[in-house]
Amino acid sequence: MRKQVPQLFAAIHLGSEQISIQIVEYSELFDIRIVDQASIHVTLGEETFKTGRISFSTVSEVCELLKGYRRMMSEYGVAEYRVVATTAVREAQNQQYIIDQIRVKTGFTVEVVDMPQEIYYKFISIIRTAEAQQLLATRQGIFFVDISSGGLGITLVIDGKIRYQQNIHIGIIRIKESFDKRQRDSVNFNQALAQYINSIISPVKQELGKYQIKYLVLSGSETDLLLKMLGHANDNNLVYVGLAELYKLYNQIQGLKLPQLIKMFDLSETVAEIVLPTIILYHEILSLIKVEELVIPPDRFIDGITKLYIAEKKSSEWLQTLEDYMMSLVKSIAEKYGYDCNHAEQVERFSLMFFDRLAKVHGLGKRERMLLKIAARLHDIGKFVSLRRHYFYSYRLILSSDIFGITEDEKKIIAFIAHYHSKGVPDNDNRDFERLSKQQQVIVAKLSALVRLADAMDRSHRKKVAECDMILKGDELVIGVNSLEDLSLEEWTFLDKSSFFEEVYGIKPLLVRKDR
Amino acid sequence: MNILFDKPEYFVNRELSWLKFNNRVLQEADVKGTPLMERLKFIAITASNLDEFFMIRVAGLKHQFESGINKTDAAGLTVQQQLDEISRSVHNLVTVQYRYLTNILGQLENYHMYFRTPQQLEQEAKHWLESYYNNNIFPVITPMAVDSSRPFPFLANRSLNMVISLKKSDGEQAMAVVQIPAVLPRIIEVPTKQQDKIFVFLGDVIKEYCQQLFQGCSLETAAFFRITRNADLFLDEEDAEDLLIEVEKSLRRRKWGQAVRLEIQENCAKELENYLLEALNIGIDDVYEVSGPIDLTCFFKFTAMQDYDYLKYTPIIPQFPADLKSEVEDLFSAIREQDIMVHHPYESFEPVIEFVQKAAEDPNVLAIKQTLYRVSGNSPVVKALAQAAENGKQVTVLVELKARFDEEKNILWARQLEEAGCHVIYGLVGLKTHAKITLVVRKESSGIRRYVHISTGNYNDATAKIYTDIGIFTINDQFGADASAFFNVLSGYSEPPLWNKFIVAPIGLRDKIKELIKREIDHVKNGNTGHIIAKMNSLLDKDIIMNLYEASSQGVKIELIVRGICSLRPGISGVSDNITVRSIVGRFLEHSRIFYFGNGGDEKIFLSSADWMPRNLNERVELFFPVESDKHVTRIKEILTYMLTDNEKAHIMLSNGNYRRAFKRKRSINSQYELYLQAQVSAKQNNLPLQQKFKPNYRKEK
């Protein structure tokens, strides 16, 4: 069989500390070859954290560089690409103008990702590397800590499932910029910095204390620095580092001043400035939780962009693995709020059934199906806060949870599905709902109508419906159910809740007992 | 670093070492077996070398001295001492140079070539000359009188002039200067009826007939002189908005530099000499009286004269490279099969040109990237690059604007390439790009393929016939990825990455060299042997030299083949007993940089664009790369062996910094000649009609 001609893809990352491009050749997800890459240090992060914006002169320089990257792309004939921006652009008040300038000057459309997504991209890339290098074989916990310039992502995986995921606004550059030069030069700075970091991340400790964890997988641009200071080679493999090594380094750099650091480790001044916050942050993280070994993967954000793009392009089976990870996280969130697992499963099952049966009617895709699945899982978590208006608290809790792998907009859709899963009609008074695009509003309506009916079918939370089939006949959807128990409550509720469904789809749902 | 080795007596001053090199070149003008015209050419080469030496090196030292800097060099000489030594040394050199010249010109008479003054000519010839003067010379000369109202005129760098003292009709003394026009040939052939050829110098003709320029005055005495000026470019790159414009500006300034040397004809009247010294503000040490024509570079043109092939080297025909098989039609597929090595000038430069030309035409080629440092006039490489851009390829060219004395030319290429649509980078701020590399990106059915040519020599088809250089073509993607990354760095798209194969100055080359030397020391310490062979143009870096001393003292055998400057002193007891230095000066200019490391039996060979000089290691973008193919390692070792056993063109350096010719034992070995013979044998094996193979695709001129 003739091997197919590989395709080309370019990923460009506008980071806080680096602007990078990666050009790859691929035929399948497992067959990716990096053809060319370039990366240059920038100070966008410092600018944003200090002034809240990125100046036009800086943007011009960025555009010049991006023009160069465009030239690189044309040197290989690359047509497919993604340009993704993270913290620095995301948090700049003039974000829209920056993106517009880049579009006008370079023709690139920049996507800005939020923090959970940023962490997600790195996470999936690391997962893929870890899979290949048998790191995931352990059934013990693996603690993924990603430190970017502006954020800290903590993800706990046990036995292939995400048990905990939290993202904190504390990154290396953000820490550095939180203190001015005078403060950083103070003799008490190390201690103050440790306390500052500790105060922010200590709540995590209570949550994680109960788990048995083997590896701490550390990622983020500063890991290169760590490896350099520890004298480890930096090839494209996982690097295992003993805890003793890190503690030794920690003790070594305590009390060292900038010039000494520069000399001892052969660093530039800008790099030396972030050594202290980095090592103290690592140290504080290690104090959170007991781990056996440190693992440093080579993966960067840009690798995640590339891998996900190719997986989606090639409809790889790996996408299912990723969805499983995400659903395991959703489940962990639901568990945190003491949800009724059986009921949620029922609702998820029926919702998806409706969704699949009505594929031609709603015209929605895979992505929406996944949103529906998540919403079905989380629709009742508001009961944790209050039994009155629980749908409202579900909405609020979802909005304030980090669910990585989905965008901020998608999260809003999920939250509104939960909001309208039992009553009300998504329109009129709700101002937040009004802020969604018309298209998104329709998605919310379509999907919440499904959850509402599915929820009605397990109104008693007793999993009474054992079997169920659905037949679409003209403008009637006949839902045939089998149950050993009395379904009166479900039937009455169904009738009550079906009007919304009818309004959205123009189809009348009918619940019929098949065994009668 | 062992400070034991940091003693002035262990080092040779750079300038004096360079003068020794120029002296070795001059010696070639006195080798009996060498054809006369070639010997004359060696004289012209030494003259042109000296010009450059004064314009840059001496000017630099003088500038330092005048700015009050009088620090000592590695050899312990102050700036003043260096200038004194240079003056003495150059005076000797010039004396020898003119002695050889007289000798050669005398021998040319055996072949019926005569240099004459106008007075010595027969009547008929004189008539011809006078009319030549009236028709061709007179219209372009302008006498410039100097008196109280007219200051001493500005005289361009390296221009030949005549100073004349005049007596006006009222008895008043006056001075005048006549510039000998550079637009006319310096050596004029006077037609004769016999088979003899008679030549006169342009200056002599002007001197003979210039009376008519000064109506009403009488000529007292006249003398020829020439000034050399400081010609180094001072560029403020940091503030340069547009390097192209800055370089152009400073080129204009070059003509105006401080005078650093005055060449004047022997037996010039004292009053004229004093007058010039004062007018030019130049010291007596910088005056060079010569017993013959001033500016011997005029013999370049003379030796290039048609005919007289019997007085020149038999021309060599660069051979078809041993690595290329005749049946292989396409260069790219040949490279896909195996790495290809080309050794110029023994092997033809055509494949290198073809590489770019083919790439320009090949529909599958997406991009071409190349560094250009010095290119020839009407360069086929430049032409091909422009063609490639016009054919829609992405072409990136780094044109080094700061390539000394080629700046003007390079500005021209840069503009041409830009107009053709190439992406032109004008070098880097603060660093000269000296690396020689070409990258061709091709889209093939298996995906992107990168073809790399990387070499020790410039992409210059003219000098490739005279300079010895080695280039490698490869498709090894570790080289390819490095090449891409290298151009990304040069284009400002990226910071230097971790390299697969390349070692790049100024980032890591120095450390790498030291590491490689250290590894040999370690092998000795582990009971193995240590062996280094390093061939380069100049060895000047004190830090590296001290590392070599260290290695020598630890028992590493070091054989250096250094053509030019060598600051290292071999054979000092306890310091460099295990180091030998030889310099090969022959028909071809040794230019390849080859580095061999014994590595305890696992031999490694590297090629490089860089000499071991501070400027190459610190201020230039240079490449140093391993030779990967075992076949090439073997071949390069053979090349080194030839050089190390050369006893005809090799000069052995002594501890005192002097050189002697290598002793001949049984058979005389001329490494350059042997390598050429070898190339001929390999080419014959490949058995192909060269002309048929190489038909460059030029675009038809309209």
Q: Give the separation between CA B533 and CA B581, rounded to whole angstroms.
A: 10
Q: Give the separation between CA B331 and CA A325, rounded to whole angstroms.
A: 51
pLDDT at B512 over 50: yes
Question: What element of type H or E holds B423?
Answer: strand B423-425
Helix locations, B560-608, DSSP H? none
Q: What's the pLDDT score for residue A475?
A: 86
Q: Is A3 close to B446, i.e. CB distance below 8 A?
A: yes
Chain B closest-CA separation from residue A149 CA (Å): 19
Q: Is B495 close to A39, i.e. CB distance below 8 A?
A: yes
Average pLDDT over residues A403-413: 87
pLDDT at B690 over 70: no
Q: Is A40 close to B493, i.e. CB distance below 8 A?
A: yes
Chain A closest-CA separation from residue B337 CA (Å): 20
Closest residue by Cα to residue A479 from A452, A438, A504, A513: A513
Closest residue by Cα to residue B620 from B487, B428, B372, B469: B428
If DSSP codes are grouped into helix, strand and coil, which group holds residue B52?
A: helix
Q: Which of A8, A33, A75 to mutate to test the interface with B (most CBs of B within 10 A)?
A: A75
Q: Which residues contact B276 (CB under 8 A, 6 or more apart)?
A: B163, B225, B262, B264, B282
Q: Which residues contact A218 (CB under 8 A, 6 or more apart)?
A: A145, A146, A147, A226, A282, A294, A295, A296
Q: What's the pLDDT score for residue A2?
A: 43
Average pLDDT over residues B509-526: 95
If DSSP codes are grouped into helix, strand and coil, which group holds residue A220?
A: coil
Which residue of chain B comes nearest to A65, CA vs CA?
B493
If DSSP codes are grouped into helix, strand and coil, which group holds residue B31?
A: coil
Q: What's the pLDDT score for residue B700?
A: 45
Pairing of strands B287-290, B340-344: unpaired
Average pLDDT over residues B224-232: 87
Q: Which string of b and e fits B291-325 if b means at least 16 CB within 10 Å? A: ebbbbbbbbbebbeeeebeebbeeebebbbbbbbb
Residue in the block written with tokens 């110098």: B201
Tokens of A8: 């080309």
Identify all chain B residues contacting A38, using CB atoms and an 8 Å cutoff.
485, 488, 493-494
Q: Which of A3, A31, A35 to mutate to test the interface with B (most CBs of B within 10 A)?
A: A35
Q: Is B493 close to A3, i.e. CB distance below 8 A?
A: no
Q: Give the separation between CA B435 and CA B176, rounded to whole angstroms.
A: 49
Please state the length of chain A: 516
Q: Give the separation between CA B512 and CA B516, rounded to whole angstroms.
A: 6
Helix locations, B526-657, DSSP H? 542-553, 614-618, 630-645
In DSSP notation, A22-37 reads EEEEEEETTEEEEEEE
Which residue of chain A comes nearest to B444, CA vs CA?
A5
Calculate the alpha carbon distances from A57 to A53, A61, A109 in Å: 12, 6, 19
**CB-side exposure of A241: number of CA atoms within 13 Å?**
29
Mean pLDDT of chain B: 88
Q: What is the DSSP letter of B136?
A: I
In DSSP notation, A491-504 reads HHHHHHHHHHHHHH
Tokens of B37: 């015209």
If DSSP codes are grouped into helix, strand and coil, which group holds residue B526?
A: coil
Going B409 to B410 to B411 to B417, the CA torsion angle's sign is positive
Which residue of chain B comes nearest to A236, CA vs CA?
B498
Q: Is B485 close to A36, i.e. CB distance below 8 A?
A: yes
Which of B112, B343, B344, B434 is the catalytic position? Answer: B434
Q: Is the peptide bond before B506 cis (omega within 30 degrees of 0)?
A: yes
Q: In chain A, pLDDT over 70 holds for what percent of residues?
A: 98
If DSSP codes are grouped into helix, strand and coil, which group holds residue B576?
A: coil
Q: Which of A36, A65, A70 to mutate to test the interface with B (most CBs of B within 10 A)?
A: A36
Among candidates B445, B492, B498 on the partner chain, residue whose Cβ is nearest the Cβ of A68: B492
Chain B residues whose C-beta is within 8 A of a chain A C-beta are: 366-367, 394, 396, 423, 441, 443, 445-448, 481, 484-485, 488, 491-495, 497-498
Tokens of B525: 């310490």
Q: Is B493 close to A72, i.e. CB distance below 8 A?
A: yes
Which of the four pLDDT bands, split at 50, 70 and 90, describes residue B234?
Answer: low
Q: Decide which of A185 and A277 is more confident.
A: A277
Question: What element of type H or E holds A111?
Answer: strand A110-112
CB contact at 8 A, B521 and B550 = yes
Chain A closest-CA separation from residue B577 CA (Å): 35
In DSSP notation, B510-566 reads HHHHHHHHHHHHHHHHTTS--EEEEEES-B--HHHHHHHHHHHHTT-EEEEEESS-B
Q: Decide which of B194 and A445 is more confident.
A: A445
Chain B closest-CA separation from residue A75 CA (Å): 5
Among candidates A21, A68, A76 on the partner chain, residue whose Cβ is nearest the Cβ of B448: A76
pLDDT for A66-121, tens place per residue? Answer: 999 999 999 999 999 999 999 899 999 999 999 999 999 999 999 999 888 888 99
pLDDT for B162-176, tens place per residue? Answer: 998 888 888 788 888
Q: Give the separation between CA B572 and CA B282, rounded to whole angstroms.
A: 40
Chain B closest-CA separation from residue A247 CA (Å): 27
Question: What element of type H or E holds A21?
Answer: strand A18-28
The separation between CA B47 and the C-alpha centre of its own chain, rounded to angstroms, equals 13
Residue in the block written with tokens 């061999």: B596
Q: Phi, psi at residue B599, to the nearest 5°?
A: 45, 45
Question: What element of type H or E holds A248?
Answer: helix A243-253
Average pLDDT over residues B563-567: 95
Q: For chains A and B, what is the number of CB pairs under 8 angstroms?
A: 61
Q: Give the separation between CA B622 and CA B512, rounded to whole angstroms.
A: 13
Q: Is A40 close to B492, i.e. CB distance below 8 A?
A: yes
Q: What is the DSSP letter of B177?
A: E
Q: Give the separation between CA A312 and CA A291, rounded to whole angstroms.
A: 34
Which of the four pLDDT bands, split at 50, 70 and 90, describes residue A1?
Answer: very low
Q: Give the separation between CA B606 and CA B517, rounded to whole angstroms.
A: 13
Q: Is A37 close to B493, i.e. CB distance below 8 A?
A: no
Identify all chain A residues contacting B497, using CB atoms and an 8 Å cutoff.
37, 39
- The residue type found at B590 is E
pLDDT for B662-678, tens place per residue? Answer: 988 778 899 999 999 99
pLDDT for A117-155, tens place per residue? Answer: 888 999 999 988 888 877 777 778 888 888 887 788 888
Q: Phi, psi at residue A142, to the nearest 5°?
A: -120, 125
If DSSP codes are grouped into helix, strand and coil, which group holds residue B477?
A: helix
Q: Give the separation between CA B543 and CA B537, rounded to whole angstroms.
A: 17
Chain A residues whose C-beta is within 8 A of a chain B C-beta are: 3, 5-6, 8, 21, 25, 33-41, 65, 68-69, 71-72, 74-77, 234
Name the range with the highest mean pLDDT among A470-474, B240-244, B602-606: B602-606
Q: Give the separation between CA B651 and CA A111, rounded to whole angstroms.
A: 67
Q: Is B495 close to A77, i.e. CB distance below 8 A?
A: no
Chain B closest-CA separation from residue A79 CA (Å): 13
Which residue of chain A comes nearest to B394, CA vs CA?
A75
Calculate the alpha carbon distances from B520 to B121, B532, B587, B600, B617 in Å: 68, 8, 34, 7, 21
Going B641 to B644 to B645 to B647, the CA torsion angle's sign is positive
ipTM, interface predicted TM-score of the complex = 0.83
Vertex A480 angle, CA A475 and A482, to 5°: 170
Which of the four pLDDT bands, split at 50, 70 and 90, describes residue A226?
Answer: confident
Q: Give the separation between CA B371 and CA B356, rounded to whole angstroms.
A: 12
Q: Give the separation between CA B434 and CA B449, rounded to whole angstroms.
A: 25
Q: Decide which of A496 and B475 is more confident.
A: B475
Q: Give the separation between CA A435 and CA A477, rounded to whole angstroms.
A: 32
Assess whether B434 carries a catalytic annotation. Answer: yes
Which of the four pLDDT bands, split at 50, 70 and 90, describes residue B243?
Answer: low
Q: Is B367 close to A76, i.e. CB distance below 8 A?
A: yes
pLDDT at A510 over 90: no
CB contact at 8 A, A398 and A381 = yes
Calculate the alpha carbon distances from A358 to A290, A420, A478, B313, B393 in Å: 49, 20, 12, 91, 51
Q: Is the peptide bond before B345 cis (omega within 30 degrees of 0)?
A: yes
Among candidates A8, A41, A68 on the partner chain, residue whose Cβ is nearest the Cβ of B491: A68
pLDDT for B331-377, tens place per residue? Answer: 899 999 999 999 999 999 999 999 999 999 999 999 999 998 877 77
CB contact at 8 A, B628 and B452 = no
Q: Which residues contact B401 (CB under 8 A, 6 or more apart)?
A: B243, B244, B247, B407, B410, B411, B414, B426, B427
Of A171-185, A225-239, B487-501, minimum mean pLDDT range: A171-185
Q: Give the separation between CA B353 and CA B609, rounded to whole angstroms.
A: 19
Chain B closest-CA separation from residue A270 CA (Å): 15
Mean pLDDT of chain A: 86
CB contact at 8 A, B376 and B670 = no
Tokens of A207: 């949550």
Q: Per DSSP, what are the bridge partners of residue B175? A: B146, B165
Average pLDDT over residues B502-530: 93
Q: Is B448 close to A234, i.e. CB distance below 8 A?
A: no
